[in-house]
A = this chain, B = another copy of it.
């Protein structure tokens, strides 16, 4: 279960028992929501479900969040907040296309693996329905990726390419492969990153030889 980033109390404020309980309740709700979203999917989840997964009273929920959308967004933002700065930071340091791409995938897949339940809440797979919510934070993350690509083009690290489509391609590959990765028995983030990076560096011809038994047989 991920630990959510806690809103920083105003500096100077003593974190009294009151504050502590407040933060704990917020945590409790976020974690319960994360579990519930991961289990039922976002669409099927109701506020009631979240409350039920909590020792708290229904009224208490509304002291912290306005709706299920609100909690969901908090989870997402939280998630994006943890991963985005890392991604950005690594990318700006990149001296080559390869570094840029490879660090992007590596960081993303590692995050996904380390925070599986959270990722599942965002991108859920039952047999039939996937939901993915792109909160402002996440959208900002996409935007940032695009800007980083544009900056890299400007720096001459990247050739002139359609940054919008490239961003889309990276995002698509990242999410889709992350999902397949989670279905495999061993959580080999390195292999996943290597695959994606090779694809973006040299296309299909440059892809690594597969380890045997990589698929999971189903769709």
Contacts and interface: CB of A to CB of B under 8 A. Distances in A.
Interface residues of A, number: 62
Given A176-B169, A210-B160, A131 B128 contact: no
A166 B205 CA distance: 12
A168 B160 contact: no
A162 B214 contact: yes
A134 B139 CA distance: 23
Interface stretch (A1-9, A54-62, A86-94, A194-202): A194-202
A82 interface: no
Nearest to A162: B210
Number of copies of this protein chain within its complex: 4
A111 interface: no
The 6 closest A-B pairs by CB, nearest first: A172-B172, A172-B176, A162-B210, A139-B219, A164-B215, A43-B43
30 contacts: A43-B131, A69-B129, A128-B133, A128-B135, A129-B132, A129-B133, A130-B133, A131-B132, A134-B219, A158-B204, A160-B209, A160-B210, A161-B208, A161-B209, A162-B195, A162-B208, A162-B210, A162-B214, A164-B180, A164-B215, A168-B173, A168-B177, A169-B172, A172-B172, A172-B175, A172-B176, A199-B203, A202-B202, A202-B203, A202-B205
Interface of A: 42-43, 69, 73, 97, 101, 125, 127-136, 139-140, 142-143, 146, 158-166, 168-169, 171-177, 179-180, 192, 195-196, 199-211, 214-216, 219
